[in-house]
């Protein structure tokens, strides 16, 4: 069942023309590399962020493991690239598509969730000194998201 669902999602992604990301599945189909451009108007604009999606054998009943492999200055991403994002954790449902996950990630880059940070210092800076936060985020984007 997982193979069928993953292939269907690849087909949907292949037909879409308005996506902000590209997918490169591995030969085993259960591991994907995804590249996503930083959203316009954010300090991540101009960067290319790389993700690894690893699908479990019981997908879509269990969510893929999503890791951001590009370093990023963001309060909802830890140093190992794990994200605090409900759609891939407690809010997962078999009806969620990978396009939904990528949209949620883009939304998180546009509007960080400072109420549920994995890095409290970055969240505090975002809240207290947005200009300095954005400067740091732009610097990290230029350095790591090439």
Supply the residues annotated as catalytic: 84
Q: Which residues of 114-145 are buried (b: 16+ CB within 10 A; e: fewer)?
A: eeebbbeebbebbeeeeeebbebbbebbeeeb
52 strand-pairing partners: 33, 67
């Amino acid at each position: 069942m997982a193979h069928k669902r993953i292939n269907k999602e690849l087909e949907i992604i292949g037909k879409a023309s308005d996506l902000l990301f590209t997918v490169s599945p591995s030969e085993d189909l259960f591991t994907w590399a995804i590249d996503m451009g930083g959203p316009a108007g954010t300090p991540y604009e101009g960067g290319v962020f790389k993700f690894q999606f690893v699908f479990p054998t019981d997908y879509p009943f269990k969510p893929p493991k999503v890791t951001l492999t590009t370093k990023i200055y963001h309060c909802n991403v830890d140093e190992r690239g794990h994200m605090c994002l409900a759609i891939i954790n407690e809010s997962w449902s078999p009806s969620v598509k990978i396009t939904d996950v990528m949209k949620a990630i883009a939304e998180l880059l546009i509007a960080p969730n400072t109420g549920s940070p994995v890095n409290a210092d970055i969240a505090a800076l975002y809240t207290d000194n947005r200009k300095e936060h954005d400067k740091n985020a732009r610097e990290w984007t230029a350095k790591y998201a090439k």
